[in-house]
Amino acid sequence: MPAESIFPDFVLGHPRHQKNKVKDVPSRKKPKGRPPKGLRDRVPFYGRLPHYTGPYEVGVIDFEVPAKSPRTFSDITRHGVHVLALETVLMTIYYPAHLNARYDINTPTSGQRHRPTWLTRPRDQTSRGYAYFAGLPAYLMIAWFFCTTWFTKLPAYKNARLAEHWPPYGEGCTNHRKATKKAGDPPATGPEKPKFPLILFSHGLGGTRTCYSSVCGEFASHGFVVVALEHRDGSGPRTLVTHPDSGPASRNCTKAEGGVEHEKSSMKRPYDKIDFIFPKHDTHDTSPGHQIDQELRNAQVDLRLAEIDEAYQIMLEICAGDGEKVAARNLRVNGAIGASRAGLTGVDWKGWQDRFHTNGVTMVGHSFGATTTVEVLRQKQRFSYVTQGIIYDVWGMPIRPTAEERDSRIRVPMLGINSEAFMYWKDNFEVAKKVTMEALETGHPAWLMTVRGTVHISQSDFCILYPHLAGWLMKMTIDPIRAIDLNVDASLEFLSRVMPKEVQHEQPFLRRLAKRKLLDSQVLTDLPTEHAPDENYTAVRLKIEHETRKRLTPGAKKKYWDEIRKSDAGETWLHISPDSAPDMARCQTCALPRWDDVERPTKRD
């Protein structure tokens, strides 16, 4: 008997996703259908992540390698040592996996592949990091995670083989569906094996390489290779830097080559702990009305850019067929801190050779990661391989002012997607608009939109794992899974329009692209204010009039949302599009293809 038939929602800690119930969603759409869940995803008291909607299973590879150019950033110190240093690069690759990825002949266990835990290992260390980040006792945070997401696993399989098949044609259905484990026909004029586009993903403050697994996994399930970095810039809750006794990542080597210092208290253990770095003068610099610690944030962005460069070089090696050399440098071997027992066992590195594009790369980031993305897009000469960018709920305050030099401006297509809570933060929203217009003014297509009913963490996994906290405390009104669906649908539509032809041609994700045109919505002239919060809660939560009646009185709630549906109010608001661009930009953006004009793969006769 399913656990949902025994335990109510407040015990399970998450909504019953498989029933696709529309709660306080200003929409006529339900979350997309997903494959049925296994037994371990039905365990009470443990949060669960929904399976992905794309036609591919998803694989993950997790490793840490020494940086080629270890060095420090800025003169910021804590306890007498520089706190911002590049020593190793830690990343998780989400990618399309082969058919029946759960089972493989080269599995590290008896016939079934591992699924990594959502809470990064070692879980007690990560929990303590979140306790420090939240200002709570460590034992409370460990107990909280143990009772909620300690055993939550990603719906992805470690070290599965990279997919070699094309997906079937046709848009995925919007109701519940069974897993589609079959291959489609190759394109009429294309290769037998697809070559996937590459995405680089940068997390926000308090994030890790797995906190956005829903977004990264969705992209991978539609046919993208996604590199999710774990930044070691003091923006995450806690990350561990592995230091072997000898070799490029040893403390002696990084000190000799890059001048990286280490605390004496950490010399006895084979790793360093990097916790969240609070600004000295204002620990609340992320809140509206507070002064940004520009020195710290600029230095963190510089470190992030260096990590992105290093990660891209690693991907170049893998694509060139040197994946085994990368694996030989992996520091998270069995027995090392944070390593899983699977390690890199079973990875078919030869199957990765020339299987993804190293040009036409998409840069994606959320919050502070979106700030990082903006800087990547501005440095076109350094990041020439990045040809478009997506910024999710950008934290605009630490964005550097645009210089007068044309090369420092955004010169690639860009999509910005805000949460409704951040949209009401006027200063931040003005920055988001300026960044979007910056791309338009240089003659490149750009869009800025908002997903209704969302809060700042709606583009991460937290709202899915803790929907009641997001609903009752932050007043999120949209189904958290539906919010992910809308973000991914808009992103795929954007990529179908702006990716370079040599990369976009014959791509698997075009076969199942939703025909709904979110980017062709009517541009709003006035900013909505229906859920604008009080000043004290700006950017933190939404405001719902008569909330108790709408949540607890079935008749009133139904009437309220029926009125929204009858008014034809959509799930998204579009603020800026190429069609609304100034005349100086319209000459290049008016020729953008609509969905009907996009060249999609054709069936082979």
Q: Is this structure's pTM higher than 0.85? A: yes
Residue 17 pLDDT > 50: no
pLDDT-derived band at 31 (thresholds 50, 70, 90) equals: confident
Residue 425 pLDDT > 80: yes
- Mean pLDDT along residues 592-599: 44
Residue with tokens 């794992």: 465
Pairwise CA distance, residues 355 & 350, whole Å: 10
- Pairing mode, strands 386-392 and 361-366: parallel
Pairwise CA distance, residues 243 & 240, whole Å: 9
SS3 224: coil
> Is 605 within the bounds of a domain?
no
- Tokens describing residue 223: 């046919």
Per-residue pLDDT tens over the stretch 178-198:
445 678 888 888 788 999 999
What is the largest distance, in Å, between two alpha-carbon atoms of the chain? 70
**Across the chain, what does the average pLDDT equal?**
86
Q: Are 327 and 301 in contact (CB under 8 A)?
A: no
Residue 385 pLDDT > 50: yes
pLDDT-derived band at 2 (thresholds 50, 70, 90) equals: very low
Of the candidates 25, 194, 193, the one whose C-alpha atom is nearest the C-alpha of residue 558 is: 25
Pairwise CA distance, residues 201 & 208, whole Å: 11
- Pairing mode, strands 225-230 and 238-242: unpaired
Pairwise CA distance, residues 23 & 30, whole Å: 10
Of the candidates 119, 98, 94, 7, the one whose C-alpha atom is nearest the C-alpha of residue 55 is: 98
Per-residue pLDDT tens over the stretch 208-265:
999 999 999 999 999 999 999 999 999 999 999 999 999 999 999 999 999 999 998 8
List residues bridging with 603 in a β-sheet. 187
Cα dihedral: 165, 168, 171, 177 (round 10):
-90
Total of domains in the chain: 1
> Is 602 within the bounds of a domain?
no
Pairwise CA distance, residues 121 & 142, whole Å: 13
What pLDDT was estimated at residue 105? 52
Residue 16 pLDDT > 50: no
- Tokens describing residue 312: 């891209």
> Is 574 within the bounds of a domain?
yes
pLDDT-derived band at 594 (thresholds 50, 70, 90) equals: very low
- Mean pLDDT along residues 399-407: 73
CA atoms within 13 A on the CB side of 271: 19
Which spans in 358-441 are helix H?
Answer: 368-378, 420-423, 426-441
> Is 485 within the bounds of a domain?
yes
What pLDDT was estimated at residue 566? 53
Report the phi/psi class of residue 209: left, alpha or beta, with left for phi > 0 and alpha for psi in -120 to 50. Answer: alpha
Of the candidates 78, 92, 73, the one whose C-alpha atom is nearest the C-alpha of residue 276 is: 78
Percentage of the residues of the chain whose pLDDT score is greater than 90:
66
What pLDDT was estimated at residue 111? 55
pLDDT-derived band at 605 (thresholds 50, 70, 90) equals: very low
What pLDDT was estimated at residue 32? 79
> Is 604 within the bounds of a domain?
no
Range of the domain at 88: 3-597
Pairwise CA distance, residues 599 & 190, whole Å: 13
What pLDDT was estimated at residue 254? 95
- Domain with 272 in it: what CATH number? 3.40.50.1820
Pairwise CA distance, residues 300 & 281, whole Å: 17
SS3 271: strand
- Tokens describing residue 253: 């080597």
List residues bridging with 89 in a β-sheet. 65
What pLDDT was estimated at residue 493? 96
Residue 586 pLDDT > 70: no
Pairwise CA distance, residues 266 & 278, whole Å: 20
Residue 477 pLDDT > 70: yes
Per-residue pLDDT tens over the stretch 195-207:
999 999 999 999 9
What pLDDT was estimated at residue 44? 65
SS3 105: coil
CB within 8 A of 299, min separation 6: which ones? 73, 74, 76, 84, 233
> Is 494 within the bounds of a domain?
yes
Phi (first) and psi of residue 356, to 5 degrees: -145, 155
Pairwise CA distance, residues 479 & 131, whole Å: 27
Phi (first) and psi of residue 143, to 5 degrees: -65, -40
Per-residue pLDDT tens over the stretch 278-318:
998 888 899 998 999 999 999 999 999 999 999 999 999 99
Report the side by side order of strands in the sheet with 572-576.
157-158, 57-72, 85-97, 225-230, 198-202, 361-366, 386-392, 414-419, 446-451, 572-576
Per-residue pLDDT tens over the stretch 480-504:
999 999 999 999 999 999 999 888 8
Residue 296 amino acid letter: L
Pairwise CA distance, residues 143 & 235, whole Å: 23
- Tokens describing residue 38: 């296994």
Residue with tokens 């190293």: 358
Residue with tokens 């008997």: 1
Which spans in 320-367 are helix H?
Answer: 323-328
Residue 478 pLDDT > 60: yes
Pairwise CA distance, residues 458 & 208, whole Å: 15
What pLDDT was estimated at residue 191? 86
> Is 603 within the bounds of a domain?
no
Pairwise CA distance, residues 504 & 310, whole Å: 25
Strands (E) in 35-163, as ranges, are 57-72, 77-78, 81-82, 85-97, 157-158
Residue with tokens 């000295």: 280
- Mean pLDDT along residues 371-396: 97
Residue 53 pLDDT > 70: yes
What pLDDT was estimated at residue 595? 38
Pairwise CA distance, residues 479 & 112, whole Å: 32
Q: Which residues of 554-573 are buried (b: 16+ CB within 10 A; e: fewer)?
A: eeeeeebbeebeeeeebbbb
Q: Are 154 and 118 in contact (CB under 8 A)?
A: yes
Per-residue pLDDT tens over the stretch 109-126:
445 678 999 999 999 999
